């Protein structure tokens, strides 16, 4: 399987991560992409750089105000008296009607959902490179490839049309799905990350041309908390075109794969002609975020099931954090996908 990868991701090295009131080193580190790349190369998958595509695909998903904020935030933040090295908001408009602010501190609170998405001097360049990585993989599929793997970093599925969150800035999976819509009337997005793909859900929640399905740890007690519950099925034209399959914390392979069967049944009923897989490897038993307990064997089996759909598929890297099994689990997933195609 062809792998699309950009070295530009490595300049984004976020430091801030607030966990239960304690500031820690951010879990979304450059090394995770380097490990994934090394594992894919060792398994014989060819690698190519993304094409310089520019802002067009991101503009098809994200609002102008948000894209402007991402591009200027770090530079303007550095001019504020007493500012820290990263843009981290300390005030948010919450759930009530609000007015879009002019000042950067207010705009940061408006556009950053949490403290897991600090913006540094090179965040925008890395996020744009990740977007171009996803779009290049989608273009490979549009050109006739059966599948392609976008090794994106930073990830994207927590990013809404106008809001970053959970390590994510541009929604690479949603951007890839929208790009596939150029030639496909119906596209499905299947998210297997341990966290619900809340940004992707929000982007397509009122649409019936993109089906969104997410298998994840129960958000009642796990990030993103406010989204990902089973009753969220879409609104307006999108009613019935969003399926959430939350699992109890610590679920192992069997219930995860059973949820996969339900997801695939819904996708078959939707009858898309192309698929995006938001590939989170953080459902792994060895992942430091400890939401689910999926093994390498489980990843292989899930990938084989997905590949059996026979759809042109873009795999977009989402979560998966530093552990000794990270690269192994990717190789298992890619191998399982290959076996399911046969």
Do 268 and 306 contact (CB within 8 A), yes or no? no
**How many CA atoms does the CB half-sphere of 264 hold within 13 Å?**
16
CB 255 within 8 Å of CB 264: no
Closest C-alpha among 182, 187, 186, 212 to residue 199:
212
Contact present, 38 and 327 (Cβ < 8 Å) = yes
Q: Which residues of 88-119 are buried (b: 16+ CB within 10 A; e: fewer)?
A: bbeeeeeeeeeeeeeebbbbbbbbbbbbbbbb
Cα 125 from Cα 161, distance rounded (Å): 18
Peptide bond into 25 cis (omega under 30): no
Phi, psi for residue 37 in degrees, rounded to 5: -60, -50
Active site residue 158: yes
Beta strand 274-279 with 47-48 is unpaired
Which among 158, 179, 216, 300 is annotated as catalytic? 158
Supply the residues annotated as catalytic. 158
């Amino acid at each position: 399987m062809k792998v699309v990868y950009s070295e530009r991701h490595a300049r984004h090295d976020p430091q801030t991560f607030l966990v239960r009131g304690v500031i820690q080193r951010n879990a979304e580190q450059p090394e995770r992409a380097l490990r994934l790349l090394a594992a894919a190369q060792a398994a014989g998958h060819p690698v190519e750089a993304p094409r310089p595509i520019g802002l067009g695909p991101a503009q098809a998903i994200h609002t102008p105000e948000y894209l402007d904020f991402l591009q200027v935030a770090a530079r303007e933040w550095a001019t504020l008296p007493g500012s820290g090295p990263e843009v981290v908001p300390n005030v948010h408009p919450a759930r009530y009607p609000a007015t879009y602010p002019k000042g950067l501190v207010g705009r940061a609170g408006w556009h950053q959902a949490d403290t897991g998405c600090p913006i540094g001097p090179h965040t925008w360049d890395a996020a744009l490179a990740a977007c171009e990585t996803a779009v290049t993989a989608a273009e490979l599929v549009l050109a006739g490839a059966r599948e392609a793997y976008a090794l994106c970093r930073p990830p994207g599925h927590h990013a809404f049309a106008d809001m970053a969150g959970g390590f994510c800035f541009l929604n690479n999976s949603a951007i890839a799905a929208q790009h596939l819509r150029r030639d496909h009337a119906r596209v499905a997005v299947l998210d297997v990350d341990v966290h619900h793909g809340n940004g992707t859900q929000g982007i397509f929640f009122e649409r019936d041309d993109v089906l969104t399905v997410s298998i994840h740890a129960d958000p009642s007690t796990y990030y993103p908390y406010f989204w990902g519950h089973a009753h969220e099925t879409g609104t307006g034209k999108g009613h019935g075109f969003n399926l959430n399959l939350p699992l109890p914390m610590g679920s192992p392979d069997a219930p995860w794969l059973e949820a996969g069967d339900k997801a695939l049944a819904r996708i078959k009923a939707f009858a898309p002609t192309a698929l995006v897989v938001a590939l989170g490897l953080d459902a792994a038993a060895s992942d430091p975020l400890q939401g689910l307990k999926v093994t390498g064997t489980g990843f292989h089996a899930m990938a084989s099931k997905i590949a059996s759909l026979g759809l042109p598929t873009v795999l977009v890297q989402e979560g998966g954090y530093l552990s000794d099994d990270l690269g192994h689990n990717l190789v298992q997933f890619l191998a399982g996908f290959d076996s399911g195609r046969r």
